[in-house]
A and B are shown apart, each in its own frame.
Chain A
Amino acid sequence: MTIEKDCLAVLAEELGPAAKAFLYRQCRNHLKKEPAALEKADLDELTKWCAMGVQMALGAQIAENVKKSLMALK
């Protein structure tokens, strides 16, 4: 599995069908790259932005879950 698919799987646990759009948006806007080009080195930055976005939209508890799950991919 690629990093993109791993991240999608993790995000889909909390965001369901919105995971893909959310991941694409955070990658393009904040990491300035396509999700397919994600590397392990990007995970720290991606985790930070994803957790922040989820916290704003869904709350701290879900953001914490997302953060832990993404960090586990490292």
Chain B
Amino acid sequence: MKIKRKLLLSYLLIVALFVAAGATITYNTTKMADLQNNVKKQVEINNNAYAFQSGLDQKQFGTLMYGTDNTAQGEQIIVDSANTMMPAESYLQTALADNPDLAAKFNQVVQLDSNQINGAITQVYTICSNNDNNETQKYTDIWTQLTTLMSSVSQADTKLAEVRNATVANVDSATQEAQNYANVSLIEAIAFLGAASAAAVILSVVIGNRITNPLKKLADIAHKVSLGDLNQRYYLKQNTDVKTGDEIDELVNAFRRMVNAFRMTEALSKDGDQPEGTDKQ
């Protein structure tokens, strides 16, 4: 293998390690971003569930005021509560679409609001606007409806509390998962950095030795040949028999051929035109 290719492959190996590290960390970062979005969504769900719960409490209070002769104030509070609850309900219907359990719980709350709570409020309106009943009967009827309303609001509060608790649990879970991804990213970054550093050091030493060791030997032999020791060809053969298949190999072969040429030229010139031995045949 050519030296350049060996160096390039080593470089690519180290680059591949860094790319793998980058890909892993990017994957973890993407997961953490997803978790962050999930946390944001859970917080939004929690806030809207709280707003809806506050709206129900407000509605209950407004109905109580309406039923106790503070009709204008009570009506205003009930209208305000509807304004608070409507956007929260709209958001929760959409946001909980991918969570059937929580969606079912919220739908129960909406059903309670639509049927029992609004039904009780309508009854209170009717009782208050009907002047035929005597006062005692009127307040008895109003109290009956308020009891129904408070019971329903209490049930709705319980359901909404379950939704909110679920979001808190989801946030805890997502936070823990994000922490795990962060820890794994840190460990992976350290591992890849260590592996890349180790690979760089090992490859530098191995490839460096494979390049410089034959060159050192060749330089030593060249020095001896330059001083007239043509028998270095034997040494050269014994020490460079391992084929590396690269430019060092080609250099050794060329050098060996050159030493052979010196040796043969010397033999040819030793006794005029006769290389040693051949004239005796």
**Could you tell me which A residues sit within 8 Å of B by CB distance?**
12-19, 21-22, 25-26, 29-30, 49, 52-59, 61-62
Q: B267, B278, B281 — which one has the most chain A CB atoms within 10 A of its CB?
A: B278
Of the residues A19, A30, A57, contact of B267 by C-beta under 8 Å: A57
Contacts of B187 in A (CB 8 A): none
Of the residues A30, A56, A58, contact of B260 by C-beta under 8 Å: A58
Interface class of chain A by DSSP: helix
Shortest distance between the CB of A13 and any CB in chain B (Å) = 7
Of the residues B234, B276, B281, contact of A57 by C-beta under 8 Å: B276
Contact size class for B?
20 to 34
Contact string, B257-281, partner A, CB cutoff 8 A, digits 1/0? 1101111110110000111111101
Cβ-closest 6 pairs across A and B: A56-B277, A16-B261, A18-B264, A18-B261, A57-B267, A16-B257
B265, closest chain A residue (CB): A18
12 contacts between A and B (CB under 8 A): A13-B257, A14-B260, A21-B264, A21-B265, A22-B268, A25-B273, A25-B274, A29-B279, A49-B281, A54-B264, A57-B264, A58-B233
Contacts of A53 in B (CB 8 A): 267, 275, 277-278
B264, closest chain A residue (CB): A18
Contacts of A16 in B (CB 8 A): 257-258, 260-261
A57, closest chain B residue (CB): B267
**Could you tell me which B residues sit within 8 Å of A by CB distance?**
233-234, 237, 257-258, 260-265, 267-268, 273-279, 281
**A17 contacts B277, CB within 8 Å?**
no
Contacts of B275 in A (CB 8 A): 22, 25, 53, 56-57
**A58 contacts B264, CB within 8 Å?**
yes
Contacts of A25 in B (CB 8 A): 268, 273-275, 278
Contacts of A26 in B (CB 8 A): 278
Contacts of A52 in B (CB 8 A): 277-278, 281
Shortest distance between the CB of B207 and any CB in chain A (Å) = 29
Contacts of B261 in A (CB 8 A): 15-19
Cα distance A40–B15 when bound, in Å?
57
B257, closest chain A residue (CB): A16
**B257 contacts A14, CB within 8 Å?**
yes
Contacts of A56 in B (CB 8 A): 267, 275-278
